[in-house]
């Protein structure tokens, strides 16, 4: 399964694609669409859309995971982020790919184990989980990979996981039950 993660932003939009078999994860591509500081906001949105359209087309993911908007003190920043998210979602939908959303706390909890983790902790865990020599850069790319990994690790992630003996694995640890006949007497 290939999951393309997006960390939307009006100055730099992070992207990252991960391929997984449910056990091992492999980096396909990652980076950041750095937008020219002198560009108008509509021009930035066009560049985000065009860039993500090309990247999604090249990566051919099964699914796009995107960071969900959360409350913000600065309304103007939240609106700009909402526009960037909108064109990112449009690029995925136009490519015919399913889109799922995760909050920042869900992403951090799935990747680091703590919903209020720092950016450096997220970068370090992404590096560890993907077996990379260095942490992904810019941090927007690491955040996008974290969004993709969140989907892989979440209950809605890789649902076709199969145990060695052919049983379907549970989608959550809460649903895990020991195999029949292995209970202690």
| Marked catalytic residue, from 140, 143, 164, 165 | 140
Query: What pLDDT does residue 155 have?
Result: 53
Percent of the chain with pLDDT over 70: 82
For residue 134, what are its two tokens?
Answer: 């260095």
| Marked catalytic residue, from 19, 21, 43, 67 | 67
Interval 40-63 mean pLDDT: 97
CATH fold of the domain at 2-175:
Nucleotidyltransferase; domain 5 (3.30.420)
The answer to whether the CB of 25 falls within 8 A of the CB of 154 is: no
Rounded to 5°, angle at Cα 78 from 74 and 84: 150
List the domain boundaries for the chain: 2-175
What letter would DSSP give residue 72? -
62 labelled catalytic: no
Query: What pLDDT does residue 150 have?
Result: 95
43 labelled catalytic: no
Convert the pLDDT of each residue in 91-148 to its tens digit. Answer: 999 999 999 999 999 999 999 999 889 989 999 999 999 999 999 989 999 999 999 9
67 labelled catalytic: yes
Interval 38-54 mean pLDDT: 97
């Amino acid at each position: 399964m290939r999951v393309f993660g997006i960390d939307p932003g009006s100055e730099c939009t992070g992207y990252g694609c991960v391929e997984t078999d449910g056990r091992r994860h492999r980096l396909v591509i990652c980076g950041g669409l750095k937008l020219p500081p002198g560009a108008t906001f509509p021009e930035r949105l066009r560049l985000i859309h065009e860039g993500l359209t090309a990247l999604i087309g090249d990566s051919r993911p099964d699914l796009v995971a995107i960071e969900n908007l959360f409350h913000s003190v600065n309304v103007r920043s939240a609106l700009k982020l909402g526009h960037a998210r909108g064109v990112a979602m449009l690029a995925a939908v136009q490519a015919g790919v399913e889109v799922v959303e995760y909050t920042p706390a869900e992403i951090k909890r799935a990747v680091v184990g703590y919903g209020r983790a720092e950016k450096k902790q997220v970068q370090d865990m992404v590096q560890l989980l993907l077996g990379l020599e260095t942490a992904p850069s810019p941090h927007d790319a690491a955040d996008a990979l974290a969004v993709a990994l969140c989907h892989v690790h979440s209950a809605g992630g890789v649902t076709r996981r199969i145990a060695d003996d052919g049983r379907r694995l549970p989608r959550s640890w809460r649903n895990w039950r020991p195999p029949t006949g292995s209970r202690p007497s």
